[in-house]
């Protein structure tokens, strides 16, 4: 094997000269090239970082299985199932009602009273007339009509004839007023048909005609009564004239008077027994309709009572939504202010009835809508509600407890289909899905997604397929 030549050894002086040369040249390279090189490298790093795409912050949600409810949202109000308006049982002066709204009442308690003195006085007067008629009947066999009685009867006939003439004049006046009202109605109908006057004026004219017709009927009845009074007075005169020869005939007259007084007395006694007004149920006073002392007619509403614990819901919904509602559907009554968690804070009720007849209602936007009342019964306690409280409700028309679902805010339209963005490996990927039932906040995924995939909520126009994203 050939031996390689060994390097020549430099002498000490030569090595010192080379070392000094490097020491003189090296500082120059470090101060110039090293600084510029560092600046260049830093600039390159900053440029790379600046132009590298940043992930978009997004809200995300896992695809999960759970309960989904399809609801009809509406406004309703509470209503006492059975409330009672207590009215005046007789005409008279009402004593001041001492109850206040909210007071408890028991069935049979006196809640109002009418001053009984006038009725009791009338009862006593009727009793006196009855005693007088009976006494006259007992002495009829020995009595004969006297000249004063005959004169009184003739005066009665004259007065009755005068009343009859006056009543007939009123009938003629009423007929004239009715004829004028008919002409006014005809003119109003013609003008309303042309749009010259509002419908209200036409209805007012028709109401005036109806009033005049009733006034004519009343006047005719008064005239007929006046004629009957004349006939009765004349008949009485004939009786008196006959009684000059046959006093026994008066027995029938007094029998009729006694029967009439007894009938009147019976009614007065019944009215006098009804001056105290009683509560028909156990409950509370909902409203005082006539608080102060005042003269009231029979049938005047005084107090409204009911049982506040016996409440129901009255919900008016659009008639097209009512087609999906069935008796037995669950009603969720929202409480609290957190809309997304409102279902957890809801009271439950149940649909009992969908009323068979719809009605027209003007919406807040001035649109006519056909609406239907849905009646519901509370399932949970509603003790903190009162009568006519406004409530926001959700009527559950469909429900499934094992539905693959995503938030409604995650889906969007794309190419005529529904799509979502899912997050995979830090990037957004668009997927086409098929949806099913939907609630106000969630939607059923029938096809296109699997459980535990991550979807993007509220996708913006910045997000496209492949866009880097990062969950907030």
Mind giving me the DSSP string for 234-288? HHHHHHHHHHTT-GGGHHHHHHHHHHHHHHHHHHHHHHHTT-EEE-SSSEEEEEE
Using DSSP, state whether 308 is helix, strand or coil.
coil
Answer whether 404's CB lies under 8 Å from 449's CB: yes
pTM of the model: 0.55
> How confident is the model at residue 1, as a pLDDT?
39
For residue 405, what are the contacts with CB-CB under 8 A and spacing of at least 6? 63, 64, 65, 66, 68, 442, 443, 444, 445
> How confident is the model at residue 233, as a pLDDT?
77
Using DSSP, state whether 404 is helix, strand or coil.
strand
Distance, CA of 167 to CA of 110 (rounded, Å)? 45
Answer whether 268's CB lies under 8 Å from 123's CB: yes
> How confident is the model at residue 194, as a pLDDT?
80
Distance, CA of 227 to CA of 220 (rounded, Å)? 10
- Residue burial 442-453, b: 16+ Cβ < 10 Å; e: rest: bbbbeebbeeeb
> How confident is the model at residue 440, as a pLDDT?
85
Answer whether 80's CB lies under 8 Å from 306's CB: yes
Give per-10-residue mean pLDDT for the chain (472 aa): 45 56 50 71 67 80 94 93 91 92 92 91 90 82 63 79 82 85 83 80 81 84 82 77 64 85 90 92 91 91 91 94 95 66 69 95 91 94 85 93 94 93 92 92 93 93 89 85
Residue 390's beta-bridge partner residues? 77
- Residue burial 381-413, b: 16+ Cβ < 10 Å; e: rest: ebeebebeeebbbbbbbeeeeebbbbbebbbee
Q: In degrees, to the nearest 5, what angle opens at C-alpha 162 toward C-alphas 159 and 168?
A: 140
For residue 449, what are the contacts with CB-CB under 8 A and spacing of at least 6? 63, 404, 406, 420, 422, 431, 433, 455
Distance, CA of 323 to CA of 457 (rounded, Å)? 33
DSSP 224-241: HHHHHHHHHHHHHHHHHH
For residue 440, what are the contacts with CB-CB under 8 A and spacing of at least 6? 71, 73, 394, 408
For residue 235, what are the contacts with CB-CB under 8 A and spacing of at least 6? none
> How confident is the model at residue 211, as a pLDDT?
87
> How confident is the model at residue 357, as a pLDDT?
94
Element (H, E) at 79: strand 64-80
Answer whether 370's CB lies under 8 Å from 318's CB: yes
Using DSSP, state whether 32 is helix, strand or coil.
helix
- Domains recognised in the chain with CATH numbers: 60-66+401-471 (2.40.420.20), 68-79+309-400 (2.40.30.170), 85-114+275-306 (2.40.50.100), 117-272 (1.10.287)
Cα dihedral 219, 222, 228, 230, rounded to 10, equals -100
């Amino acid at each position: 094997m050939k031996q390689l030549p060994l390097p020549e050894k430099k002498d000490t002086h030569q090595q010192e000269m080379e070392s000094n040369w490097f020491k003189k040249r090296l500082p120059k390279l470090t101060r110039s090239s090293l600084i510029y090189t560092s600046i260049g490298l830093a600039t390159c790093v900053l440029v790379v970082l600046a132009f590298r795409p940043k992930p978009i912050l997004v809200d995300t949600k896992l695809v999960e299985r759970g309960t989904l409810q399809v609801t009809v949202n509406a406004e309703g109000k509470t209503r006492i199932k059975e409330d009672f308006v207590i009215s005046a049982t007789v005409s008279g002066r009402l004593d001041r009602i001492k109850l206040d709204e909210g007071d408890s009442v028991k069935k049979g308690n006196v809640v109002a009273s009418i001053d009984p003195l006038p009725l009791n006085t009338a009862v006593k007067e009727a009793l006196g007339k009855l005693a007088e008629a009976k006494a006259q009947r007992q002495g009829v066999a020995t009595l004969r009509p006297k000249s004063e009685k005959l004169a009184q009867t003739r005066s009665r006939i004259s007065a009755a004839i005068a009343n009859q003439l006056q009543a007939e004049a009123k009938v003629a006046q009423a007929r004239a007023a009715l004829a004028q009202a008919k002409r006014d109605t005809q003119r109003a109908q013609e003008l309303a048909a042309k749009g010259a006057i509002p419908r209200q004026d036409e209805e007012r004219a028709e109401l005036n005609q109806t009033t005049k017709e009733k006034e004519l009927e009343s006047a005719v009845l008064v005239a007929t009564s006046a004629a009957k009074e004349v006939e009765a007075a004349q008949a009485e005169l004939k009786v008196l004239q006959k009684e000059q020869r046959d006093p026994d005939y008066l027995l029938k007259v007094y029998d009729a008077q006694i029967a009439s007084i007894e009938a009147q007395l019976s009614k007065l006694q019944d009215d006098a027994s009804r001056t105290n007004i009683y509560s028909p149920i156990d409950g509370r006073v909902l409203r005082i309709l006539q608080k102060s002392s005042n003269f009231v007619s029979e049938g005047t509403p005084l107090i409204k009572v009911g049982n506040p614990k016996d409440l129901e819901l009255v919900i008016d919904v659009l008639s097209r939504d009512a087609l999906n509602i069935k008796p037995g559907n669950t009603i969720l009554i929202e409480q609290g202010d957190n809309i997304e968690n409102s279902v957890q804070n809801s009271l439950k009720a149940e649909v009992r009835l969908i009323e068979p007849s719809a009605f027209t209602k003007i919406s807040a936007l001035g649109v006519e809508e056909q609406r239907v009342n849905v009646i519901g019964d509370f399932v949970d306690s509603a003790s903190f509600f009162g009568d006519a409280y406004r409530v926001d409700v959700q009527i559950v028309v469909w429900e499934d407890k094992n539905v693959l679902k995503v938030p409604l805010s995650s889906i969007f339209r794309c190419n005529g289909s529904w799509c979502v963005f899912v997050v995979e490996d830090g990037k957004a990927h668009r997927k086409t899905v098929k949806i099913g039932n939907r609630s106000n906040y969630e939607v059923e995924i029938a096809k296109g997604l699997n459980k535990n995939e991550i979807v993007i909520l509220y996708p913006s126009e910045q997000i496209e397929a492949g866009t880097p994203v990062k969950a907030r």
